[in-house]
Amino acid sequence: MASGNIVKLNIGGTVFQTTNATLTRFDGMLKVMIETEIPVEKDESGCIFIDRSPKHFDGILNFLRDGHVTLPDSEKEILEIQQEAQFYLLDGLMELCKRYLLNFCIFEIGIINFRKLEPNIIKLNVGGTVFQTKKSMLTRFPSCFKFEKDEAGCIFIDRDPKHFSLILNYLRDGVVELPDDTKEIREIRGEADAYKFYALFK
């Protein structure tokens, strides 16, 4: 519902008020919705209805108002906000989330950061196969490993090593060429989920 410049949005049952100017400040789904003749769904009171969780919509609006927003300290919540930003097609907010996520390297056992490891060359024992990489590669993206060391002092990760070379290439370059085989893609997706490299398939 719009009254002059004021717009009411029903996001998953919660009503928010903002302005046309805010919703059209940045390119994205909300700007298209306001500036074009595309039909929009409305609730019984005339509010524009969007079937999304309202949990992070305050943050979405604050980003639209100011061009920036303070993100939470929780990796999980930032990933949720990034997903909402992707839905609303807000490239700037997606990039902001990506930069914040680069600061996270959280492990299931305690909070152990690869940045605190002394050697620059790190040895990883992935399911019995040893890989070597630089510490800087392991801190490029948020991840989650079960962390312990084998008898040789390598960091042991209890995962299948089959696709770990591809995982490392993703860490090195930020992109990776996926195979054509759908079974292998499913396997790689499973590994990406295990390491919490969700962006690999975005």
Query: Using one digit for the tens of pLDDT, what is the confidence trace for 155-165?
Result: 888 889 999 99
Count CB neighbours of 200 within 10 A.
Answer: 21
Q: How confident is the model at residue 23 (pLDDT cuts 50, 70, 90)?
A: very high
Q: What is the pLDDT of residue 70?
A: 86
| Residue located via tokens 């490993």 | 145
Q: What is the pLDDT of residue 111?
A: 36
Which residues fall within 8 angstroms of residue 117, CB to CB, at 6 or more apart?
A: 135
Q: How confident is the model at residue 100 (pLDDT cuts 50, 70, 90)?
A: confident
* For residue 104, pLDDT beyond 70: no
Task: Give dist(CA 71, CA 182) in Å, integer.
Answer: 36
Percent of the chain with pLDDT over 70: 83
Nearest CA to 158 out of 125, 111, 135 is that of: 125
- What is the DSSP code (8-state) at residue 103? T
* For residue 181, pLDDT beyond 60: yes
Q: How confident is the model at residue 109 (pLDDT cuts 50, 70, 90)?
A: very low
| Lowest mean per-residue pLDDT among 38-47, 132-141, 163-172, 176-185 | 132-141
* For residue 2, pLDDT beyond 90: no
Task: Give dist(CA 200, CA 202) in Å, integer.
Answer: 6
Task: Give dist(CA 200, CA 170) in Å, integer.
Answer: 7
Task: Give dist(CA 48, CA 9) in Å, integer.
Answer: 5
130: left (phi over 0), alpha (psi -120 to 50) or beta: beta
Q: What is the pLDDT of residue 90?
A: 96
Q: Which domains does the chain have, with CATH numbers?
A: 6-108 (3.30.710.10), 119-195 (3.30.710.10)
Which residues fall within 8 angstroms of residue 194, CB to CB, at 6 or more apart?
A: 159
Query: Are the beta carbons of 172 and 160 closer than 8 angstroms?
Result: no
Q: What is the pLDDT of residue 85?
A: 95
Q: What is the pLDDT of residue 114?
A: 53
Query: pTM, whole model, 2 decimals?
Result: 0.52
Query: Are the beta carbons of 167 and 197 closer than 8 angstroms?
Result: yes
Query: Are the beta carbons of 145 and 110 closer than 8 angstroms?
Result: no
* For residue 144, pLDDT beyond 80: no
Amino acid residing at 180:
D
Tokens of 109: 């056992």
Query: Using one digit for the tens of pLDDT, what is the confidence trace for 51-95?
Result: 999 999 999 999 999 998 888 878 888 999 999 999 999 999 998
Count CB neighbours of 135 within 10 A.
Answer: 15
- Average confidence score pLDDT of the chain: 82
Task: Give dist(CA 34, CA 25) in Å, integer.
Answer: 11
Tokens of 163: 């696709």
